[in-house]
Structure formats: structure tokens, C-alpha cells
Amino acid sequence: MKQVDGEKLLASLGEGVNQLRGRLTPDASMERVTWFQAGGLAELMFQPHDVDDLVTFLKLLPAEVPLTVVGVGSNLLVRDGGIPGVVVRLSAKGFGQVELIGENRIRAGAICPDKHIAAMAMDNGIGGFAFYYGIPGSIGGALRMNAGANGGETSQRVIEVHAVDRHGNVHVLSKEEMGYSYRHTNASKDLIFTHAVFEGYPEERAKIRAEMDAVRQHRETVQPIKEKTGGSTFKNPDGHSAWKLIDDAGCRGLMNGGAQMSSLHCNFMINIGHATGYDLEYLGEMVRQRVFEHAGIKLEWEIKRLGIFMPGREVKPFQGATSE
Ligand SMILES: Cc1cc2nc3c(=O)[nH]c(=O)nc-3n(C[C@H](O)[C@H](O)[C@H](O)COP(=O)(O)OP(=O)(O)OC[C@H]3O[C@@H](n4cnc5c(N)ncnc54)[C@H](O)[C@@H]3O)c2cc1C
């Protein structure tokens, strides 16, 4: 049974939507958006043409309608009941550009793939961006998650971030105002990042190339990058590696329905067939419970979980105790 009704929501927005240049899709499949290829529908998806279009839309959207923004879905678990309200997905045309704007400075649109920044930096002899080469997300996702790898992270390179709030007001945030910490920003949850300026440093191209090759080779060896996955499932607790805690608790390869903790990298959850959002989230909570029983540590989700459960298929925190 459908939990969301996109046609009804669209109709409720009235004639104002006719002035929009972007695309509105009722009951949009989130399976097509997320790397897990699982989960329910977005009640109404909006793909703004550009920043002005986004601002126009937000000004006409009633305050009570929930709003969610997604990037390319490489860190998302969508629940099977779908995502109520509007899901904004930035269009590549309006938000996908990456350009050099001065010595060692790069501006990138929020839906630009991280890889493109890494490539542009290498082409122009700018160091400090090779870590982006291995992260499969978009710049918007990187700004929200403080994405990082191989000793580098977004907070080290970002100078300023441009964003639009829930009411359609434009903001420019400094790196300090982003309040970054490990895989986290203090920036208001209602902000949609539209583009950002980054700064690197002069570096020899051959050295950058070698770094990028090392990043790729490392990933191909230790991560299930060809699987339907959401990247690291849990954050590393202070002083611990999440994968080690999961391994020690006997959860490497653990399965629930179509979901499995990867045998290659056991902090990566994978959809091995037709996993539902329920299968994946339940498995994650089983792992949290087992790690807690084994090591007394409560793992924190790194993957963002969105939407609502199907009735009767709710997942509770730490569900799936070994004693159940
Ligand atoms: C194989 C694999 C390897 C990975 N390796 C790494 C890694 O090494 N390091 C790492 O940090 N991550 C890694 N990830 C996770 C993921 O790629 C990053 O978190 C990435 O930054 C998410 O970007 P996204 O565009 O996919 O965002 P999504 O998954 O779509 O969204 C993630 C969060 O960002 C928010 N968001 C997205 N766009 C915007 C925007 N424009 N404005 C405001 N908020 C926004 C969403 O609301 C959500 O909360 C990996 C994932 C996979 C599948």
C-alpha cells in the first residue's frame, strides 16, 4: 500500500508551480536514486533548473510540507514507506559545473561529482583534492557529511558555501560557520547547499596523479565498490575502528533478508539481491546490538536514514538482540 500521495501534494501547490522551469515528479522512485537501489517513493521530487528556480519553489512551498534534499544517494537508506513531502534533487545542468576561479581556487556546483573536482585540480596542478577521487558522492553530500578519505576531508579545502534556506533566502557561509567535525557540520539542517568555493595549493601533476592512482587501487582492494552499497554504515567511535568492532562481534557477512554486512569490508552494508529498506535498517540495528553486547560501544549511523516505515515493519534502535 502506498504511504505517500504525490499527485495530491502537487495539486495542493496550486497554479504557482506553472512558473517553475525545473521538473516536478509525483511518487518518484528513490530506488533509482540511491546506491542501495532500495526504499520507497519520494512523495514529490523537484529538480530545480537553477538557483532562482529553487528560490521560487521554496517561496511557494507551504511551511508545513516536509522538505528533504538528496545528492546522488551514495550515503542514503530510504525507508519503504517513502519520503513524505518534497525531495529536492539538484539538476546537473544548473548545479553540476566545476570551474577554476583563481590561483588554486575551484568553484563547484553542489551536484558536481567529487571526482570532477579531483580531476580539475589535477589538470591545473592544485594539490589537496586527490582524496575526492575515491568518494562517489556529490559536492552537496560532501559539504553535509564532511566527506573525507585518505587523510583529507572537505573541511580542509572549503572556503565558502552558498546555500538556500527553507524560506528561499540565500546565505553564504564561511568555513567557520559550517562548524565542521568528523562527518558532521553544525550548519542548519534546513539549508540546501547550491555551490561552494574550495582552495588547494600548488602541487606537481605527476604527484597528484600518483596519489589518485593510489586512492583508486586501495579502494578496489578493500571496498565492495561494485556492489549496491551506502559506503561506511557506522562512524568510527573515538579511538576505535567501526569495522574492527563489527568483525570482533562476529558480524562480518551477517545477513538479514537481501541485506548483508560485506565480507570484504564489514562496515559496508550491501544489497545482495532485492533488499528492502527494512532488511537493511534491521541488519544495521542487529549489528549495533551485537557490537554493544560484545564491546559495550554504541555505534552511531553514518548513513543517513530517510522517510517512514511501512506499517508493521518498523525498526527499533538496537533491534535484533542475539537473545531475541
Ligand atoms: C562505495 C562507497 C564508498 C564511499 N567512500 C566514502 C569515503 O571514503 N569517505 C566518505 O566520507 N564517504 C564515503 N562514502 C559515502 C558518500 O559517498 C559520501 O557521504 C558523500 O559525500 C555523499 O554524497 P551524496 O551526493 O551521495 O549524498 P546523499 O547520499 O544523497 O546524501 C547524504 C546527505 O547529504 C545531504 N545532502 C546532499 N546534497 C545536499 C545539498 N545540496 N545540500 C544539503 N544537504 C545535502 C542529504 O540530505 C543527506 O543528509 C562512500 C559511499 C560509497 C557508496
What ranges do the domains of the chain cover? 6-93, 95-207, 225-306
Q: Is 149 in the pocket of ligand 1 (CB under 6 A)?
A: yes
Cell 518518484 found at: 28
pLDDT at 3: 81
Over residues 123-142, the pLDDT tens digits come to: 999 999 999 999 999 999 99
Q: Is 161 in the pocket of ligand 1 (CB under 6 A)?
A: no
Which cell goes with 269? 552494508
CATH number of 225-306: 3.90.78.10
Over residues 138-174, the pLDDT tens digits come to: 999 999 999 999 889 999 999 999 999 999 999 999 9
Per DSSP, the three-state class of 9 is: helix
Distances in Å between the Cα of 276 and the Cα atoms of 63, 81, 142, 243 are 31, 10, 26, 23
Amino acid at 278: Y
Average pLDDT, the chain: 95
| CB proximity list for 214: less than 8 A, separation 6 or greater | 150
Ligand 1 atom with least separation from CA of 114: 21
pLDDT tier, 270 (very low <50, low <70, confident <90, very high otherwise): very high
Contact 37, 230 (CB under 8 A): no
DSSP secondary structure letter of residue 133? G
Amino acid at 13: L
Task: Give the range among 182-186, 220-224, 294-298 with minimum mean pLDDT.
Answer: 220-224
Kindly tell me if the per-residue pLDDT of 299 is higher than 90: yes
CATH of 6-93, one of 3.40.50.970, 3.30.43.10, 3.40.50.11540, 3.30.160.60: 3.30.43.10
Backbone angles phi and psi of 32, in degrees to 5:
-75, -20
pLDDT at 220: 87
pLDDT at 229: 96
Protein residue closest via CA to atom 6 of ligand 1? 135
69 CA from centroid of ligand 1 (Å): 11
89 CA from centroid of ligand 1 (Å): 13
From the list 140, 14, 19, 31, the residue with the least C-alpha distance to 65 is: 14
pLDDT at 293: 96
Which cell goes with 158? 572549503
Instruction: Report the C-alpha gap between 191 and 247 in whole angstroms.
Output: 37
Q: Is 185 in the pocket of ligand 1 (CB under 6 A)?
A: no
Over residues 277-291, the pLDDT tens digits come to: 999 999 999 999 999
Kindly tell me if the per-residue pLDDT of 321 is higher than 70: no
Quick one: what percent of the chain has pLDDT higher than 90?
91
Protein residue closest via CA to atom 33 of ligand 1? 141
Over residues 237-262, the pLDDT tens digits come to: 999 999 999 999 999 999 999 999 99
Instruction: Report the C-alpha gap between 73 and 31 in whole angstroms.
Output: 9
16 CA from centroid of ligand 1 (Å): 32
Q: Is 136 in the pocket of ligand 1 (CB under 6 A)?
A: yes
How many degrees, rounded to 5, is the angle at CA 140 between CA 131 and CA 146?
50
pLDDT at 324: 44
Fold of 95-207: 3.30.465
Residues with catalytic function: 183, 232, 302
Kindly tell me if the per-residue pLDDT of 323 is higher than 70: no
Model's pTM, two decimal places? 0.95
Contact 215, 121 (CB under 8 A): no
Q: Is 74 in the pocket of ligand 1 (CB under 6 A)?
A: yes
| CB proximity list for 59: less than 8 A, separation 6 or greater | 167, 168
pLDDT at 13: 95
Strand 41-47 with 83-89, pairing: parallel
Backbone angles phi and psi of 242, in degrees to 5:
-60, -40
Q: Is 113 in the pocket of ligand 1 (CB under 6 A)?
A: no
71 CA from centroid of ligand 1 (Å): 7
